[in-house]
Amino acid sequence: MNNNANKVMSANEAVRRFIHDGDELIIGNYTVGTCTELIFEICRQQKKGFTLYSQSGILDVDVLVNAGCVDRLVTTYVMRSGGKKGGGAVERALQAGTLEMEDYTNFNYNARLVAGMHGLTFIQVLEGVMATDLFRKRSFMGEDKYRVIKCPYTGRDLLTVPAVTPDVCIVHVQRADKHGNAQYWGALGSVAAAALCSKKIIVSCEEIVEHDVIRQSPHFTIIPAFRVNAVVEVPWGAHPTEVLGHYNRDHFFYGMFTTANTREETAKAWMDEWVFGCSDREAYIDRYAARFGIGMLDKLRAKAFYSAPANYGAAFTSAWDENGKERSMGLSLAQIEQRLAEKGMLYE
Amino acid sequence: MSKGYTLNELLIITCAKEIKDYQNVILGVGLPTTAGALAKALYAPHATLMMESGIIDFEPLVPLNHIADAHACRGFSYATDLFTAFTMTYRGFIDICFLGVGQVDKFGNVNTTCIGDYFNPTLRLPGSGGAADFIAYAKQTVLTLRGGQFVEKLDYFTSAGYMEGGDSRDRSGLFPKGSGPSMLLTTQGVFRFDSETKEMYLAQIHPGASVEDIRKDIPWDLKVSPNLTQTERPTDREIDFVRHFAPTESVGRSMRTELSIEHAFNRAKKRGKV
């Protein structure tokens, strides 16, 4: 069953209703354009105890770890602010022993999502990793991080990883309709698989569009409505990261975060001001404009470079032609009914 | 006084009533598409209609030519692939699907592959297509039998219904608990499956049909519900919808062919051909 009525709600409501302490939480976005407003809202609601999945941790993972939301992390890439002293929240949490972590390769990680998305319990991955410490060093997943099986066809050793089906995915996209059809384009990464392997999906988007827009461009839909639990319209919802067709990455502001993130006290001050100190994204943008001027954001706005439209049209959309005749039989409805009656095919 | 209806219209309308609002529905060609279109228009506006080719959430405007017919709608919501359409079913996201039947046995097992010996067939039917996987993992399957037959033993076991009956389907461990055929629709009536024995019984007869006639086509001692009902007469609204959406389905294949040929000849004559 789907719940395809109107799923539009605030970030506050979506996080409150669909994300719980101790969840397996997956960040759907990958390296570019992450769902910062949903992440900030999770921090504001002080959710705890997540096992967090992220294809490639950037600001998103570090903000959640800074806020103390994450117990366990499964990823392939940890953000550094640069240089030996440029560690961030993940490094500090590992040093403090408050975070457990499993390392995978990008491909291994993505394969786990693909297996989950398709209902498989495990999936074969590229076996070269067996020569490395990725295979040998195991944290909280232990034996189940990787298992080796014999190929029933060739007899060779095959490396496998288990499927993952997180409790909830958070993901930011360009546009969605109120039913939840989510459209995303640009670097596809593992975005669709992250969403589709999850049990619940919260979509935030730059804009909510009419259903007709979706229907005219189904090739851009990465998540169908019947899988989605909440749709949150939040312009600038990925700032300071980028959204193709909307705005570029805000290097200045991103740099402010990475600089602050190198030390616990400055990271805390940044979080206090920009995450906990703003009740929602509108308040965050207001604060940004007040501090730095709206012109800073205007400079980031995308110039249009539209995709060419695809023609989804057919020769006709009705069984009846312009003269009211059925196309193959060439008769009007009244004539067809008369023939049916003559042949005794109508039951009373 | 209500409108007269054709047998095909009665079947389509009876089938459509199996679709409930908010369900995710896999449609096949012919009767099920029209039933799906009718359900979406009249009873189940939030249903998500899907084709196994990966066309997800469409509103049919004309009957489908096949299960990859994007020409039958005006756009749709999500374009995925066949592989994902099936794994979506495997994961339990499909509430109901519709399958046509070549042969069916008393436990709703289905043959759509061949009549006679598989390696030397009397009739070679289409095969599984999506059938074996859909009936396996959709929460509920509606079987439709128009030209097919009831048999004690299938000539080829294409798709698993309730297997040997009783709890054998659930016990096999291959299928989600509680899945399987929920109904078999024929030109004479509606059959359902006993909740314990999983043997089909006659639940409903169409106006004009008789239990005696129905028994003639069934090689085992058919059980009949003590609460046997008559199929509801279609309303004018339902008949009008079907007749406008799919007039060719309303009249049925033989009359459609006859009238189409007549029309083509008349057209050719007017243009000085023939």
pTM given for the model:
0.94
Question: What is the least distance, in Å, from the CA of B262 to any CA of chain A?
Answer: 8
Compute φ and ψ for A41, nearest 5 degrees: -65, -40
**Residue-level pLDDT at A1:** 74
* Residue A3 near chain B (CB below 8 Å): yes
Nearest chain A alpha carbon to B246: A319
Residues of B in contact with A337 (CB under 8 A): 243
Number of structural domains (chain B) is: 1
Beta-carbon separation of A314 and B95 below 8 A = no
Beta-carbon separation of B259 and A343 below 8 A = no
Residue B58, domain member (yes or no): yes
Residue B46, domain member (yes or no): yes
What's the complex ipTM?
A: 0.91
Q: Which residues of chain B have pLDDT under 70?
A: 1
Q: How far is CA A17 from CA A12, A71, B62, B211, in A?
A: 9, 21, 41, 53
Task: Give residues 161 to 200 of A whose Cβ lies within 8 Å of B.
Answer: 179, 181
* Residue B173 near chain A (CB below 8 Å): no
Residue extents of the structural domains in chain A: 11-121+163-298, 314-348
CATH number at residue B219: 3.40.1080.10
Q: Which residues pair with B100 in a beta bridge?
A: B144
Question: What is the least distance, in Å, from the CA of B187 to any CA of chain A?
Answer: 14
Note down the domain range covering B253: 7-270
| CATH architecture, domain defined by A11-121+163-298 | 3-Layer(aba) Sandwich (3.40)
Across the interface, of B5, B55, B57, the residue whose CB is closest to A347 is B5
Task: Give residues 77 to 96 of B whose Cβ lies within 8 Å of A.
Answer: 77-80, 83-84, 87, 90-91, 93, 95
- Local structure of B232: helix, strand or coil: coil
**Residue-level pLDDT at A58:** 87
Beta-carbon separation of A118 and B247 below 8 A = no
**Residue-level pLDDT at B101:** 95
Catalytic residues of B: 52
Residue B241, domain member (yes or no): yes
* Residue A4 near chain B (CB below 8 Å): yes
**Residue-level pLDDT at A39:** 98
Question: What is the least distance, in Å, from the CA of B259 to any CA of chain A?
Answer: 5
Across the interface, of A314, A326, A346, the residue whose CB is closest to B6 is A346
Residue B250, domain member (yes or no): yes
Cis omega before residue A240 (within 30°)?
yes
pLDDT (tens, 9 = 90+) of chain A, 348 residues, equals 777 677 999 999 999 999 999 999 999 998 889 999 999 999 999 999 999 999 998 899 999 999 999 999 999 999 887 777 778 999 999 999 999 999 999 999 999 999 999 999 999 999 999 999 999 999 999 999 999 999 999 999 999 999 999 999 999 999 999 999 999 999 999 999 999 999 999 999 999 999 999 999 999 999 999 999 999 999 999 999 999 999 999 999 999 999 999 999 999 999 999 999 999 999 999 999 999 999 999 999 999 999 999 999 999 999 999 999 999 999 999 999 999 999 999 998
**Residue-level pLDDT at B1:** 55
Residue B260, domain member (yes or no): yes
Question: What is the least distance, in Å, from the CA of A281 to any CA of chain B?
Answer: 29
